[in-house]
Amino acid sequence: MIIITGAAGFIGSALVSYLNEQRYFDLVLVDDFSKSRKDDNLKGKQFSQKVERTEFFTWLEKNQRMVQFVFHLGARTDTAETNTKIFDELNVDYSKNVWNACVKFGLPLVYASSAATYGNGDFGYDDDHKIVEKLKPLNPYGDSKNEFDKWALKQKKAPYFWVGLKFFNVYGPNEYHKDRMASVIFHSFNQIKETGKVKLFRSHKTEFEDGCQKRDFIYVKDIVKVSYFLMHHRKNSGLYNLGTGTARTFYDLVNATFGALRKKAEIEHIDIPKDIRESYQYFTEAKMDKLKSIGYTEKFYSLEDGVGDYVKNYLVGKKYY
């Protein structure tokens, strides 16, 4: 059995699909399944059973002997959420319980961290453990992810193999339920369909022109390939960046979206909403040497290829992966 928490969500459901493609069907999906908006993410996929998030640890006590691997992808990911108690409960405490269960039962673990831990990038975007204590995230979500990373690195008892993946800006199919937190590609596609134009954030920093803020955009299909690689690798534990290693502007992203639709780009600028303006990252770029050093050699999708696949094969027609 392979456990996937957050299995009904964006990245979790994509991982279920990829594992099915690799002929893995004995999957245990853990999530809050009361949210029906995510149901379509799992339609047509093969798995053994669903376990409610609140019942997972009771289930694991009874079934741990049949489990081979744990992917902990479940989390509250709303970067505009300000209630720290929600993050403490779902992103920190729940993750500690997953970690401790993996220690107790001798299970390998891959969990989702985030590039939001890097904040403004004052210490760069290097997945060196030495800088984790120094990092200053810009919002409670980033704080919660960094708090767990710090906690994990301090533990004397750890799973025999564990990895925390610092996801950069992930985009791709199965994010229809994410509303405001969906990728800019998703929102751009819908704006083009409705108005023929795309609205991009103005820059509120003099060193960046409007629309020229840069992010490391990574296609979800690359995320699941790396996760699969780690499931078999099972050595070199630690924190790892997971981006492409190349920052691209939002202009590049929007132009790729227009290009995939064979339309001429029309772009307007709007102010960054005040509730996220102070926590908005203007630049992210993953340093990817560490993952490559342990033997990952697959090429990542370019922005143009990833956006093209996403738009043509999923967004047009609202298809799922």
One-letter amino acid identity for 240?
Y
Annotation says 176 is catalytic? no
| Beta bridge partner(s), residue 268 | 199
**Which member of 94, 111, 125, 141 is catalytic?**
141
Q: Which of 163, 47, 53, 48 is nearest to 97 (CA)?
A: 53
DSSP 8-state symbol, 203: P
DSSP secondary structure, 170-182, as one string: EE-SS-GGGGGGS
Rounded CA-CA distance 75/96 in Å is 12
Q: Which of 49, 69, 68 is nearest to 59 (CA)?
A: 49
Annotation says 104 is catalytic? no
**Which member of 178, 197, 225, 290 is catalytic?**
178
Contact 81, 140 (CB under 8 A): yes
Going by their DSSP bridges, the two strands 169-171 and 198-201 should be labelled as unpaired
CA angle 41, 45, 50 (to 5 degrees): 80
Contact 89, 25 (CB under 8 A): no
CA distances from 190 to 179, 187, 252, 276 (A): 12, 5, 17, 22
Rounded CA-CA distance 67/50 in Å is 14
Q: Would you name the residues annotated as active-site residues?
A: 141, 178
